[in-house]
Structure 1
Amino acid sequence: MTKRTVIVTGGFGALGRVVAAAFAAQGDLVARVDYATTAPDAASVGLPAGYMDMGGVDLTDADAARHVVTRVTEAWGGVDVLVNIAGGFKWERLGTGSLDTWTRLYEMNAVTTATMTKAALPSLLRRAGARIINIGAKGAVHADDGMGAYAAAKSAVHRLTESLAAELAREDITVNAVLPSIIDTPANRTDMPDADHGTWVSPQALADIILFLASPASRAITGALVPVMRGA
């Protein structure tokens, strides 16, 4: 494969860093975008060649998303792959929680995906074999106790994935989503110390699926919601 340009939103987080590193390891140019100002790894050791970091970016802002694409395009000529990882989670029951949680989780998960995708789409459509990969959630297929706001937001990501795949069916681009169960991150281990971590999905395992969906081998797959529920 020739070198491609990849944008990873939520790129400073536990999953985003692993996904970005996986693309970089195969020779791709990777732009990591995040609401946080700096990535933990960049702060300590600096970025290797082939990386671009953009921190402090609010992807609910359409102008901010367009600025990301402009910077990447000016530096590297265009966008081949967009991986929408940016999002957030909060366990909260409707009866005892706040309606603001529903708005906030929708913005963090669904709006960021739509805004970044719309900004990147013109550039993606100019590239052969372009790819969009979104992060959905197994927990949005059937919502459990306290999962209503999060499941609703991720369900919107699922429907966006399906709708956009149909919209772009005649173009040289695919749109898919991965639906992980619980991802094995330090934050999730802290929040759920008594859970069986052996059944969780490792970031690297999820990155492997994302790399496949970004590869030429996945060219016949579009509009798919791919469950990812095995461990490491």
Structure 2
Amino acid sequence: MTAMLEGRQVVVTGGTGALGQAVIDRLLAEGATCHVPSHRRPGSLDAAARERLHVVPDIDLTDQAATDRFFDGVPGLWASVHLAGGFGMGRIADSERDDFTRLMQMNALTVFLCSRAAVRNMRRTGQGGRIVNVSARPGIEQRQGARMVAYGASKAAVAAITMALSEELKGDHILVNAIAPSTLDTEANRKAMPKADPAKWLSTEAAASAILQLIAPENTEMSGAVVPLYARA
């Protein structure tokens, strides 16, 4: 049986994080070739998978020229999955302009520049494609945003970019969607919140499965969705 993404070229930003590694594992298992802007290789892989994993170091995804060069080096891009970003929280009276700007750059600007470069690549092939962004629960639910004004705003911007871009690209057969997860069950989050119950958090595998469904060639209709993934919280 042919794998779902056999021969497909996929970019994964943030590919060495906990979610990124789960996504890359699924993509490689489905036959994709993954292109990852990063400083280190994700996980331990077998020899066959390593042949289909291309890690490009020292890419600043807030730099338009650097982002364009990276995407231009990917032949026949099918899908671009944008996981790169950051988190921050704090009361607004204790926050600074730089806190807001940093999160907007890490979350919204990187999605904007990567989407821009991905669309240019996909239009060259004329075969359509898939873009998946990552918003977050505080970006789409007001009541979840206490002490996360800057973070929530940056993730709300990701949701807005996703919906606007899906409309713009209808004629190009490029489908654009996003997931909006609640807290992910990662080692970093367990260390940061030792008193929390991780059984109520979303697994990275569940998030990776949702992303895989959105970039699958079998998805020929769904676009402009921001999919809530809230686990059992």
Q: TM-score, normalised by structure 1?
A: 0.91
- What is the RMSD computed on CA atoms of the aligned residues? 1.9
Query: What do residues 81-125 of structure 1 show as CA deviations (whole Å, max 9, x unaligned)?
Result: 000101000111111122211000000000001011111212112
Instruction: Give the counterpart letter for 1:180 in structure 2.
Output: P
2:30 equivalent to 1:29: no
Q: Which whole-Å deviations, capped at 9, do the CAs of 1:136-172 have from their partners, x for residues lacking one? A: 1011121422110000000000000000001111221
Give the 5 Å matches for 1:101-180: 101-125=99-123, 126-141=125-140, 142=142, 143-180=144-181
CA shift for structure 1 position 40: 5.5
Q: Within the alignment, does 1:55 sit opposite 2:54 as a pair?
A: no
3-state DSSP class of the match of 1:7?
strand
The AA in structure 1 aligned to 2:98 is: D
Per-residue deviation, 1:56: 2.1
Give the share of equivalent positions with the same residue, in percent: 36
Q: Look up the match of 1:8.
A: 12
Counterpart contact for 1:109–1:154, Cα < 8 Å: yes
Aligned partners of 2:139 and 2:156 also within 8 Å: yes
* Pair 1:191 & 2:200 matched: no
Q: Is the 8 A contact 2:128 2:172 kept in 1?
A: no
Taking the aligned partners of 2:76 and 2:89, their CA distance within structure 1 comes to 38
How far off is 1:219 after superposition? 1.3
**2:15·2:42 contact (CA, 8 Å) conserved in 1?**
no
Partner of 1:80: 78
Structure 1 gap ranges (5+) = none
SS of aligned partner of 2:80: strand
Q: Runs ≥4 in structure 1, deviation > 3 angstroms?
A: none
2:54 partner SS: strand
What is the SS of the residue equivalent to 2:159? helix
**In 2: Cα distance, 1:127 partner to 1:8 partner:** 21
Q: Please, which runs of 5 or more residues in structure 2 have no aligned partner?
A: none
**CA distance in 1 between partners of 2:52 and 2:42 (Å):** 18
Equivalent in the alignment of 1:66: 68
The letter for the 2-side match of 1:90 is G
After TM superposition, the structure 1 stretch with the greater mean CA deviation from structure 2, 193-202 or 175-184, is 193-202
Indicate if the aligned counterparts of 1:5 and 1:81 stay in contact, CA closer than 8 A. Answer: yes
Q: 1:208 to 1:40 in 2, by over 3 A?
A: closer
Letter in structure 2 aligned against 1:58:
D
- In structure 2, the residue matched to 1:201 is 202
Of 186-195 and 100-109, more deviation after overlay is shown by 186-195
Partner of 1:94: 92
The DSSP-based 3-state class of the residue aligned with 1:223 is: coil
Deviation at 1:127, TM superposition (A): 4.5
Aligned residues: 224
Q: TM-score, normalised by structure 2?
A: 0.90
